Amino acid sequence: MLILCPVKEQNPFQSPYLCLKKKRFFMRRWIRFLILAFVGWGWGACVGGGADRSDREVDSTWVPLYETQYAERFAVLGDPTSGETVLRVLNPWQGAEGTTFDYRLVEDTTARLRTNEIRWPIRSAVCLSSSHVAFLDAVGAVGTVRGVSGRDFITNPAVHRAEVREVGYDNQLDYETLVALQPDVVFLYGLTGANSAAETLNRLGIPVIYVADYVENTPLGRAEWIIPFGLLVGRLDEAVGRFMEIEENYKAIGEQVALSTTEAKRPAVMLNAPYRDVWYLPGDRNYLVRLLDDAGGDYLGRGDDSDRSRPVSAEEALLLLVQADYWLNPGQATSLAQLRADNRRFATLPVVRRGRVYNNNARTTAQGGSDFWESGAVRPDVVLADLVRILHPELLPNHDLYYFRALE
């Protein structure tokens, strides 16, 4: 657990550093103190008037205001000289090695923003991923959402308010609506490269921030992205406290599993289903595989030391599936009958005959949007509890499945 430890110097902003402790009070107190110092008190001379904003390069003299424990794709940095705060996003898409975006937080002002400056705290946002909505909701700021991509696929009821607009998808964004909304920021993401919308939005004077939660390979690494969202809406204290609760819950469940299971007691698990006769198996360092490991499962698709999914033939996958004690996330299936109808070979599988098939579609919209990929990114502790309830029901007998459900 992190706790900020102030160095014994007259200026508390010059050399803050972080050490490991389990004292929530001090953690929240010091993080709040330092962030407010940088984003508040230190701001008057350098950014309040717009024209006096610093152009100082973000370099090694900037100090971490929050040091991540699990996430690898963001940092929160402060400049002891100017008092500026920067949210740094690192390698925000697969293959983006060496790519860095530094977003400077600028006090809420009417001054014209420059590229990669973000008005702070943000009061309105557009979210191009459902997980962005979930992160804002987790810090009590879902009311800042003014536009979303794929509204019908988002489970959070807050985005179905009349004032929340649909802004389109991918290369079909509705820029007219975006300009009319004039959000403080558009949260976007890249898949295998830069999002083409970023350049267009910057030209239109609409700030953007890349969110790289989905590229994080660990469950708590993804959840830790609650910190940047809390920072941006001026609720970092709440975000830190929320993340610590999630972390504590996750680790407590994981420790219970570790103490109660042995290699011999880890049930064999198969993931996913074929798509056009090709089965995509997650790599050994994939987010879902990490969850399975912590839940005491034995993933049958091991063999690729990466975080990406690899294609295998349906025949090869079926040979693995025959060995499975449990089958999780079988595509869009909502029943065993549907599985059997999709592929008659599934009907003879032991895992299907025993009814040990579970899908993560317990919470979906009418159009098929799944809360597993929405709030599940923020609540890996609940996802882990679901998996433990499935694989080792005796360990969490009172837990009701939230994201998963048994197919019948």
Q: What is the pLDDT of residues 127-146, one digit of tens each?
A: 999 999 999 999 999 999 99
- 201 and 331 share one domain: no
In a domain, 319, yes or no: yes
In a domain, 255, yes or no: no
Q: Of 36-45, 82-91, 221-230, 303-312, where does the model show the most confidence? A: 221-230
In a domain, 178, yes or no: yes
Does this model's pTM top 0.85? My answer is yes
In a domain, 163, yes or no: yes
In a domain, 252, yes or no: no
- 362 and 227 share one domain: no
In which band, very low, low, confident or very high, does the pLDDT at 314 lie, cut at 50, 70 and 90? confident
Query: Per this entry, what is the length of the chain?
Result: 408
The pair of three-digit structure tokens given for residue 118, joined into one six-digit string: 């973000």
**What span, in angstroms and rounded, lies between the C-alpha atoms of 182 and 108?**
14
- 59 and 185 share one domain: yes
pLDDT for the residue 31: 54
Domain endpoint, select from 198, 220, 245: 245
**What span, in angstroms and rounded, lies between the C-alpha atoms of 71 and 75?**
9
| Greatest distance between any 2 Cα atoms in the chain | 73
Residue among 342, 326, 341, 350 nearest 406 (CA): 326
- 295 and 223 share one domain: no
In a domain, 250, yes or no: no
pLDDT at 5 over 50: no
The pair of three-digit structure tokens given for residue 381, joined into one six-digit string: 């502790």
In a domain, 115, yes or no: yes
Average pLDDT over residues 314-322: 92
The pair of three-digit structure tokens given for residue 305, joined into one six-digit string: 């030391």
- 265 and 228 share one domain: no
- 272 and 152 share one domain: no
**What span, in angstroms and rounded, lies between the C-alpha atoms of 314 and 3?**
49
Q: Of 226-235, 258-267, 275-284, 339-348, where does the model show the most confidence? A: 226-235
pLDDT at 48 over 90: no
293, with CB counted inside 10 A (0-12, 13-18, 19+), is middle
* Structural domain boundaries, residue 153: 2-245
Structural domain count of the chain: 2
In a domain, 46, yes or no: yes
Phi first, then psi: what are they for 259, rounded to 5°?
Answer: -75, -20
The pair of three-digit structure tokens given for residue 113, joined into one six-digit string: 């923003």
- 362 and 229 share one domain: no
In which band, very low, low, confident or very high, does the pLDDT at 199 lie, cut at 50, 70 and 90? very high
- 303 and 331 share one domain: yes
- 347 and 287 share one domain: yes
Question: Are the CB atoms for 351 and 344 separated by under 8 Å?
Answer: no
Question: Are the CB atoms for 310 and 281 separated by under 8 Å?
Answer: yes
Q: pLDDT digits over 163-183, tens only? A: 899 999 888 999 999 999 999
3-state helix, strand, coil in the chain (%, to 5): 35, 20, 45
Domain endpoint, select from 245, 275, 305: 245
- 227 and 347 share one domain: no
Q: Which helix (H) or strand (E) holds 219?
A: helix 219-223
CATH number of the domain that 235 lies in? 3.40.50.1980
Domain endpoint, select from 213, 245, 277: 245
- 335 and 384 share one domain: yes
Place of tokens 């706790």: 3
- 100 and 6 share one domain: yes
Instruction: Tell me the residue type at 231.
Output: L
pLDDT at 309 over 60: yes
